[in-house]
Structure 1
Amino acid sequence: MTAEARLDEALIWHIRLSDQGASTDDWAAFTEWLEADVANADAYDRIAMADDQLSHTLAHAPMANLAQNDNEHGPVRWFQRRAFQALAAILVIALLASPMLWPGRDLNLYTTKPGEVREIALNDGSSISMNGGTRLYVDNKSHRFAKLESGEAVFTIRHDASNPFVVETDVAILQDVGTVFNVRRAGENLEVSVAKGAVRYNPDNEAVTVSSGKKLRASKANSVPVISATDPQTVAGWRRGQLSYQDSPLSEVAVDLSRAIGEEVVVANDLQEHRFTGVIQVEKDRKLLFRRLEGLLSVRATHTASRWQLTS
C-alpha cells in the first residue's frame, strides 16, 4: 500500500470516529486496522495532528464562520464544513508536509498495549507511568510537555513555577502546580484525579484549580468541569491492581478492565449505564476475577476466544 493510500484510510477512520454516533463495532474495527500494521498507527497520528492544526487555523480565519451551514450550532470540525469537504484531503496532506505542526517541539510517541505498564523517566527527575492501551507524546527538548492522546497515565512532576509542566488533551490543557496526578482519556471523556499538590485546568480560560483529594471530569461535548472529592490514596490505584469507583457506569468499568488485563471486556447495552461504587482488585487469575465480579457487579460474565462479556 502506498503512503498516500494509507493516509487516505487514516483520514476516513478519523472522520468516522469523530462522529458521536460511532459504534462499538466501529471502534473494534478501527483497533483491528491499527494493529494490522504499525504504519497504520503512524498514519493516523499524522492525520490527528494535522486535524488539530487545521481546526485551530480555521477557527481563527475570517472565512471560518461563513463555511458553516446556517443550521449548524456550536463548533464544527473542518471536515464537517461543506465548503471544505472537497478540499479536505489536499489540506491535510499539505499540513502533513508542514514543519509547523508542533512548532518548537520534538515529540516522541510512547505506547502501551492493553495489559502493559510503562515507566518514563524525564530528565528533570519527573516521571510518567502509563497504563495499558495508552498513547502519549513527550517533548524530547524540554521534557515539560506531554500530549495524552488516549488511555491513562499518572504524572509525578517536579514543580518549576518558571517552567510549568503541561499535559495537553483534545478536551483541555492541564498545568501542574507541584503535583502527582492521574489523567484518564476514555471515549469523549476526560478525568483528572490529584493525589498531591494541584492541577490547573485550562489555565488560559477557566483556570480551575483541582487540589489534592479532588477529581475533575469534563468531556468534548461539555468542557465545563465537574469537581468531586476522591481519596488521594486511591489515585492511580491501577498501578497496584486496584480500580476504584464512585457512582461510575459499568461501561467505564469495562474500559478500565480491558486496559488492565489486556483482553476486551464488553457490557450489554442494558447494563451500560448501571452505576457501581467500590473497589475492584485485578486478579492474575482471570476466572477468579470475573467470578468475583459477577457478585460485585451483579452481572453474568462469559468468556469467548476474544473477549469477556458482562450481561444481566
Structure 2
Amino acid sequence: MNSKANPLDAMVEAQALSWVIRMQRADFAEWDALTDWMDADPRHADSFNRLSLQDAEVASMLAVPSLPVPPSPVLAELREDTPRAAAPAERSSGTRPWMRIAASILLPVALAGGWLAHTFRSHPAPLRVTVLQTGPGERRDITLADGTRVALAGATSLAVDADGRHVRLLNGRAMFTVVHDPHHPFRVDLGDATVTDIGTVFDLYRWGARADVALSSGAALLTAGGQRIALRPGQRVRIDGHSVGQPQSFPIEDIGGWRRGSLTYTDATLAAIVNDLQAATGAPIRANQDVANQHFAGSIQISGDAEQTLAGVAPLLGVSVRRDGVVWELVSPGQKDRR
C-alpha cells in the first residue's frame, strides 16, 4: 500500500478547512458557493463534514491546544426524532461517509499563529452554525430548540443558525412545521429567495438554481426576484434562477407526500425526476440523453429498493430500465438490451 499523502487529497482538506473557518464569520454569505463546491466532488463534502464534526481534530491540525468551548444552544436542545441507523465501519483512510447528520461547527476563538488566527481575531464572536445532512436513501425528523419540526428527505443539507430561527436549505428537500413567534419570525433561505413563516407548514425543495415552495397550512411570505408573494395553503411557487413563477394550485394532500414515498409532478423532466429517485432510494440512477428531457406530470411511488421502485415507475414514465454495473439507467423503450 502506498503510504504517501495524495496531493489532491491534501488540497481538498485545506479547502474544506478554509470553508469551515469562513463559516464562523458573522458576515458569511457564500452559501451558494459552498453548496457548489460540495456538489462538485463527493470528497469535498466528505472532508467538510468530517472537519465540521471534529472541532478538536481541527484544533490539533492547527498545532494549538484545544480550548474548552460551550455547547451549541441549538444542539443542546435539538432532538433527533428518527432513530439513527448504526454507523458504517470507518474506512482505513479514516474518512467517514460523505453524507450524514453533522454536529455544530464550533471552533476555538483563540487560535494561535498564522492567518487562521488572524481570521478569528478579526471576528471574536464566532457564529455557531449547525449543519444537518442526510445521505441518499436516508430520511430524518428533527425538532429544533423552539419546537419547530423539520423532516429531511434524502440527500439534503440544512444549515441552522445559532438562534434556531434562521435556516438555509443548501440542497435537497425538507418540510417544516413551524412554531410561530410574531416577535421572532422563522426564516428559510433558498439561495437568493427567502420564506418567512406566519404560522406555517411548508415544503421546500432546492437543487442548484431551482427551488420549489409549497404551503400546506397557515401563511408564508416568499421574497424572491424582487417580488414579495403571500402564499396561501394549497399553493406552490417555482423558482428557476432569477425567474420566479406565479403561485399555482397544488393539492394539499400531495404537499410533503415524499414522506409517504409519493412524489407528485405537474411538469418535470426525467432528469429532475432521476435526482429525486436517487435521493429517495440511495441508488445511482441516470437518465439516458434520449429521455432526459422528456416531461412528466403525475405521481410516482417509492416502494422498496431501487429495483422494485423502478419496476413500478418506468411504465408510468414511458421508459425502460437497464443496469450498467451498479448504475440503473432509464432508456427509451426498446433500448434496454442495446449498448
Q: TM-score by structure 2 length?
A: 0.65
Q: 1:34 to 1:138 in 2, by over 3 A?
A: closer
Taking the aligned partners of 2:275 and 2:262, their CA distance within structure 1 comes to 14
Residue 170 (structure 1) shift = 1.3
TM-align CA RMSD: 3.5
Which letter does structure 1 place at the counterpart of 2:260? R
In the TM superposition, what whole-angstrom CA distance separates every residue of 1:154-183 from its partner, at most 9, and x where no partner exists? 010011222110001213111011111011
Deviation per CA, 1:218-251: give whole Å up to 9, x if none: 122x243332110111111111011111121111
Instruction: Map 1:129-144; keep pairs closer than 5 Å.
Output: 129-140=151-162, 142-144=163-165
* 1:262 paired to 2:291: no
Assess, with a 3 A threshold, how the Cα gap between structure 1 residues 179 and 311 changes in structure 2: closer, same or farther: same
- Matched-pair identity in %: 27
Partner of 1:274: 294
The CA distance in 1 between the partners of 2:116 and 2:271, in whole Å, is 39
The answer on 1:309 being equivalent to 2:333 is no
Instruction: State how far apart, in whole Å, the 1-side matches of 2:117 and 2:280 are.
Output: 36
Q: 1:137 Cα shift?
A: 1.1
Aligned to 1:237: 257
User: How many Å separate the matches in 2 of 1:133 and 1:97?
Assistant: 31
Aligned length: 252
Q: Work out whether residues 12 and 44 of structure 2, in 8 Å CA contact, stay in contact via their aligned partners in 1.
A: no
**Match of 1:55?**
none
Identify if the C-alpha distance between structure 1 residues 160 and 9 changes in structure 2 by more than 3 Å, giving closer, same or farther: closer
Counterpart of 2:45, as a letter, is L
**2:197 is equivalent to residue 170 of structure 1:** no
The residue matched to 1:276 in structure 2 has which SS?
Answer: strand
Change (3 A) 1:134 1:28: closer
Look up the match of 2:56.
none
Q: How does 1:204-219 map to 2 (within 5 A)?
A: 205-219=226-240
Using the alignment, how far apart are the partners of 2:218 and 2:178 within structure 1?
Answer: 10
Counterpart residue number, 1:181: 202
- Give 1:34's aligned amino acid: A
TM-score (ref. length: structure 1): 0.70
Q: Which residue number in structure 1 is paired with residue 222 of structure 2?
A: 201
Give the conservation status (yes or no) of the 8 Å contact 1:150–1:186. Answer: yes
Select which of 295, 308, 316 maps to 1:288: 308
Q: Residues 226 and 305 of structure 1: is their aligned pair in 2 closer, same or farther, counting only changes over 3 Å?
A: farther
Residue 5 of structure 1 is matched in structure 2 by 11
Secondary structure of the structure 1 residue equivalent to 2:309:
helix
What CA distance in whole angstroms lies between the structure 2 residues aligned with 1:106 and 1:274? 43
Residues in 1 aligned to 2:268 and 2:123: alpha-carbon distance in whole angstroms? 37
Match of 2:119 among 67, 86, 97: 97
Does the 8 Å contact 1:34/1:41 carry over to 2?
Answer: no
Name the CA shift for 1:180/1:308 in 2 (closer, same or farther; >3 Å). same
Could you tell me how far apart the structure 2 residues matched to 1:97 and 1:260 are?
40
Q: Which amino acid aligns with 2:199?
A: G
> CA 1:33–1:7 in structure 2 vs 1: closer, same or farther (change >3 Å)?
closer
Deviation of 1:123 (Å): 2.2
CA contact (8 A) 2:283 2:306 kept: no
One-letter amino acid of the structure 2 residue matched with residue 30 of structure 1: D
SS in 2 for 1:207: strand
Give the superposition deviation at 1:104.
Answer: 7.9
Query: Structure 1 stretch 122-131 or stretch 236-245: which is displaced more?
Result: 122-131
Q: Where does the alignment leave 5 or more consecutive residues of structure 1 unmatched? A: 43-92
Say whether the 8 Å CA contact 1:129–1:155 is kept in structure 2.
Answer: yes
* 253-262 or 196-205, which deviates more: 196-205
SS at match of 2:41: helix
- Higher RCO (Cα < 8 Å, 6 or more apart): 2
Partner residue of 2:337?
Answer: none
Taking the aligned partners of 1:245 and 1:102, their CA distance within structure 2 comes to 47
Question: Relative to structure 1, is the Cα distance of residues 188 and 255 closer, same or farther in structure 2, using a 3 angstrom cutoff?
Answer: same
- Is the alpha carbon distance of 1:5 and 1:234 closer, same or farther for their aligned partners in structure 2, counting shifts above 3 Å? same
C-alpha displacement of 1:291: 1.7
Select the structure of larger CA radius of gyration: 2
Whole-angstrom CA distance in 2 between matches of 1:224 and 1:308: 33
Task: Identify the structure with the greater helix proportion.
Answer: 1
Aligned to 1:65: none
Distance 1:252 1:218 in 2: 14
> Residues 111 and 291 from structure 1, CA distance in 2 versus in 1: closer, same or farther, beyond 3 angstroms?
same
Q: Which amino acid aligns with 1:302?
A: R
